[in-house]
Structure 1
Amino acid sequence: MQARIYKPSKSAMTSGRGKTKAWVLEFVKENVHRTADPLMGWTSIDDTSGQVRMEFDTQEQAIEFAKREGIAFRVEPTHERKRLVKSYSANFDANRKQPWTH
């Protein structure tokens, strides 16, 4: 069983970054057997380890936990967003790089 350690990105549906501070360790399994329930049509799975999601304060804590428990893991790099610093008054600046048009 392999785990992946990553820092989640901001949800596209919100402007806040509340759940992006912690590092997450979750199990990944490629060959899982899924079956459809004939009566209700729900999909079930034979291994529930994919539902385990553990949060850590730092990347080092997550790696240390995985090593201590003997879990194979991979660390996915974080993608920090670029912050574009803009001000409304720059639209009316006399030294504007692009001419202001109506």
Structure 2
Amino acid sequence: MDARIYKPRKTAMQSGRGKTREWVLEFRSENARFADPLMGWTSINDTTGQVRMHFETREQAIDFAKREKLTFTVDEPREPKRLVKSYSQNFAADRKQPWTH
């Protein structure tokens, strides 16, 4: 069974970083989804794709995957570039664009 270990990014609707501190182990579904012939809904026989396990550290998630003999990939988080600006820069004399109301 294949698993993915990653640290979730903050969503566009979040201003804080509340749910981005834990590492997540998520199983990848091996079976393809299919349309139910009676209702036409999308179905799948393998429910492991719905399982998400949360760990405090990356090493705990890797140890669990190794202990359960899972093949896994680790996606390292990319830190966003911080633009350090102050409010006074909006009114600086050397602005590239003129300040207007």
Q: Give the TM-score of the pair, scaled to structure 1.
A: 0.84
User: Which runs of 5 or more structure 2 residues have no equivalent in the other structure?
Assistant: none
Q: Greater shift after overlay, 57-66 or 85-94?
A: 85-94
Query: Residues 101 and 64 from structure 1, CA distance in 2 versus in 1: closer, same or farther, beyond 3 angstroms?
Result: same
- Aligned-residue RMSD, C-alpha: 1.8
Q: Give the TM-score of the pair, scaled to structure 2.
A: 0.85
Q: C-alpha offsets along residues 51-83 of structure 1, whole Å, 9 cap, x if unaligned? A: 110010110110011111111111111111111
Whole-angstrom distance in 1 between the partners of 2:36 and 2:70: 32
Map 1:15-54 onto structure 2 (within 5 A).
Answer: 15-29=15-29, 31-54=30-53
- Equivalent pairs counted in the alignment come to 100
Q: Which amino acid aligns with 1:86?
A: K
Residue of structure 1 in register with 2:79 after alignment:
80
Residue of structure 2 in register with 1:56 after alignment:
55
The alpha carbon displacement at 1:13 in A equals 2.5
Residue of structure 1 in register with 2:10 after alignment:
10
User: Which runs of 5 or more structure 1 residues have no equivalent in the other structure?
Assistant: none
